[in-house]
Amino acid sequence: MSILIKNGTIITENDSREILHANILVDGNKIVYIGKEEPEHDSEINADGKFIIPGFINTHAHIGMSGFRGLLDDIVLSEFLDKTSKLDADRTEEGIYNSSLLGIKEMLNSGITSLVDLYYSEDVIERAVEKTGIRGFLAWATLDQEYTTQKGDPVKNAENFIRKTHPDTVTPLAGIQGIYVSSDENYYRVRDLSEKYNVMVHTHLSETRKEVYDFVKSHNERPVEHLASIGFLSDKLLAAHCVWITLNEIKLLARSGTAVSWNAISNAKLASGGIAPIPELLSNNVNVSLGTDSSGSNNSLNMFEEMKYSAISINNDRWSADTVKSQQILDMATRNAGIALKAPIGVIKEGYLADLVIINPNKYSTIPSSEKNIVNNLVFSSSSENVEYVMVNGKIVLNKNNGTGDEMDYSQLNYL
């Protein structure tokens, strides 16, 4: 099945950041042609006056927690963590599945075509990923036995999930909850799992000051320093948060090739203090992407919100509106994430997977839009309202012109 997307303005996000007025031919699950010609095709979409962007990639989420929205607000961090743990311990498979469906639909609605998820029961979440058509990088969370609510050994659970046969839109990852509930033995076992099956690892790292200071008190070194000393940092590691890190730790991340997922809204909403040292990460060539975190600590799974707040928060923190520019933020939401995940996504390029979003700029908040200001408008002015089509793996999974993707009443489901 081939689809020709005609007459669009393409924000390629390629190495040159070209903006092209051209057609895109999608054949199967890949982009096979970009240019002025109209190759033979089975169907077409007229994108005249529209912008075509690579699908956003959310590099840190817990979609199984989408049913927690509004249940964890207005409380201090210690209470938030305790209440989250209690909610997690009482989850049902039905609640996790419905929460995942809900979270994915919200993501697709804002142009997110891929997500990195960290949770247990990723086998349940995978069913929701397959049903909705989103691309999922699913990391089964591991931690020490004494802290887990999982049945059985978390690392063996993760290995069993990795060894399964997965649909082509699912990539399994190994996960670690965090250094506060994982011994060195757990890190070694997950590292071995990553090497044995050639999968990436996703984890929380240096998210809060308490997490870091407690570890320093017990180990006399900082978390990133410790993970470097045990050989855990690598270019197969995607670390979420990295708020409380020093310049020395940034250099350790850079030398190892570890990528970072920046979760600005979640970090601010939890009020744990501090803003990730993004300028220093970038100047040391650490690959930074964007994540929403969960509906419990963000309440929204919206990449437009994440881009705008990320830019504003860091520029305000550094007293300069050009600290991180719009193009860098858009890169984080697209191409940087694809590079971090070692996947042919996040760029509109021949041979890459066809994960595309068609943006309608003819909305009050984004008029006027042209190639001169579209990147700025995507970061600072756009919303889910601008998303018209979402394509994942060559298939239209959301078409707001005919209602495709909105066939279920989500208000009546059990989410716990």
Any bridge partners for residue 356, and if so which?
54, 391
pLDDT at 413 over 80: no
- pLDDT value of residue 405: 60
The 3-class secondary structure across 243-282, one letter per residue, is: CCCCHHHHHHHHHHCCEEEECHHHHHHCCCCCCCCHHHHH
Ranges 59-63, 70-74, 219-223, 326-330: which has the least confidence: 70-74
Whole-number average pLDDT of the chain: 94
H/E stretch holding 182 reads none
pLDDT at 60 over 90: yes
- pLDDT value of residue 87: 81
Per-residue confidence band for 410, with pLDDT thresholds at 50, 70 and 90: confident
Per-residue confidence band for 407, with pLDDT thresholds at 50, 70 and 90: low
Starting at the earlier edge strand, list the strands of the sheet with 288-290.
56-61, 112-119, 135-142, 170-176, 201-205, 237-241, 259-262, 288-290
Report phi then psi at 5, rounded to 5.
Answer: -100, 110
Domain boundaries, the chain: 2-54+346-399, 56-340
- pLDDT value of residue 74: 83
- pLDDT value of residue 296: 83
56-340 has CATH 3.20.20.140 classification: yes
Can you read off the two tokens belonging to residue 271? Answer: 């009020």
Task: Quote the percentage of the chain above a pLDDT of 90.
Answer: 84
pLDDT at 394 over 80: yes
Per-residue confidence band for 198, with pLDDT thresholds at 50, 70 and 90: very high
Per-residue pLDDT, averaged over 179-183, amounts to: 95
Task: Quote the percentage of the chain above a pLDDT of 70.
Answer: 99
Enter the pTM of the model.
Answer: 0.96
pLDDT in tens, 351-374: 999 999 999 999 999 999 999 999
- pLDDT value of residue 401: 87
pLDDT in tens, 214-228: 999 999 999 999 999
Q: Determine if the peptide bond prior to 368 is cis (ω within 30°).
A: yes
Tell me the C-alpha distance between 192 and 397, whole Å.
36
Q: DSSP character for 404?
A: B
pLDDT at 409 over 80: no
Ranges 42-56, 260-274, 279-293: which has the least confidence: 260-274
pLDDT in tens, 298-340: 899 999 999 999 999 999 999 999 999 999 999 999 999 999 9
- pLDDT value of residue 274: 83
- pLDDT value of residue 406: 61
Q: Kindly write down the DSSP assignment for every residue of 192-254, as one continuous string.
A: HHHHHHT--EEEEES-SHHHHHHHHHHHSS-HHHHHHHTT---TTEEEEE--S--HHHHHHHH
Per-residue confidence band for 190, with pLDDT thresholds at 50, 70 and 90: very high
- pLDDT value of residue 10: 98
Q: Is the model more confident about 55 or about 87?
A: 55
Tell me the C-alpha distance between 125 and 56, whole Å.
20
The fold for domain 2-54+346-399 equals Urease, subunit C; domain 1 (2.30.40)
Q: Do domains 2-54+346-399 and 56-340 have the same CATH topology?
A: no
Per-residue pLDDT, averaged over 93-102, amounts to: 93
pLDDT in tens, 76-89: 877 887 888 778 77
